Amino acid sequence: MSHPRRISTLAGALLAAVVSVTALTSGAAQAQTVEYVALGDSYASGVGTRDYIDDSSCRRSDAAYPSLLADAIGADLTFAACSGAKTGDVLANQLGGLSAGTDLVTITIGGNDTGWTGVVQKCAYPYPWTCWKEIDAAEAFVRDQLPAKLHAVYNAIEDAAPNAEVIVLGYPLLFNGEECNAITRISPGEQAALNDAADLLGDVIGTAALSHGFQYADVRAAFDDHAVCDDTEWINGISYPIAESYHPNKAGQRDGYYEILNDLV
């Protein structure tokens, strides 16, 4: 003969077990959601992809590496990167999404601090204008002033997101020594000098990042054979609107930046 009390007790135990498993499963699912904050400038926001999330001047794109990574790993993305940002802009405007609960931070920053856009524009002026002086000034800035600005940003990230994995992504070399655009004239010598300056920038950014224990994603090798004027360009040449120029296109963001970043996460 069945005992109602035993049945009631067993049913209660089973119900408690189901509730416990459900709670554990729910908690595990929540724990698996990566809280991801993407910081930086136009190379991080996705300028060059010609496809933007909204009409804001930040030009954030679903084709940019932060969006691609967030989709791939199912992360909750706070997309703070903004076109034109310098290190000071990151400190003033982009750190609000960081917290002790942030799991992952990526950042590309430093190029605008050097005045890089203006340097390349000067190099594109027709003969007899040259840009040697501007290149020298940019390199001096990178050596003498940029490290302190990078350390200030990296310190702020460490303070605001002490538990996060931080990955710093650099910049590609833009040129391959060929002249293929009739609108601009950047000589092979100037292209080589610009690439040397970009190498210096990459080395300084990498050294600063590693000194903080961050990972450094150096994209220069990935963009080999994909510079402006290569058969398969991952970087736009001179473009309209002009802001699209000398930035990674969708292939550069996907096959260059995202592929390297995805291997590190």
10 Å CB burial of residue 81 (0-12, 13-18, 19+) is buried
Q: How far apart are CA 241 and CA 144, in angstroms?
A: 33
Cis amide linkage into residue 241, ω under 30° from 0: yes
**Left (φ > 0), alpha (ψ -120 to 50) or beta: where does 17 sit?**
alpha
Q: Which amino acid is at 222?
A: A
Q: How far apart are CA 70 and CA 79, in angstroms?
A: 10
Q: Which amino acid is at 165?
A: E
**Rounded to whole angstroms, what are the CA distances from 4 to 1, 10, 11, 16, 45?**
10, 10, 10, 18, 65
Q: How far apart are CA 103 and CA 163, in angstroms?
A: 6
Q: Which of 8, 42, 187, 226 is catalytic?
A: 42
**Rounded to whole angstroms, what are the CA distances from 97 to 35, 209, 244?**
10, 20, 27
Tell me if residue 42 is catalytic. yes
- Neighbour count for residue 140 (Cβ, 10 Å): 11
Q: Radius of gyration over alpha carbons of the chain, in Å?
A: 24
Q: Which residues are tagged catalytic?
A: 42, 247
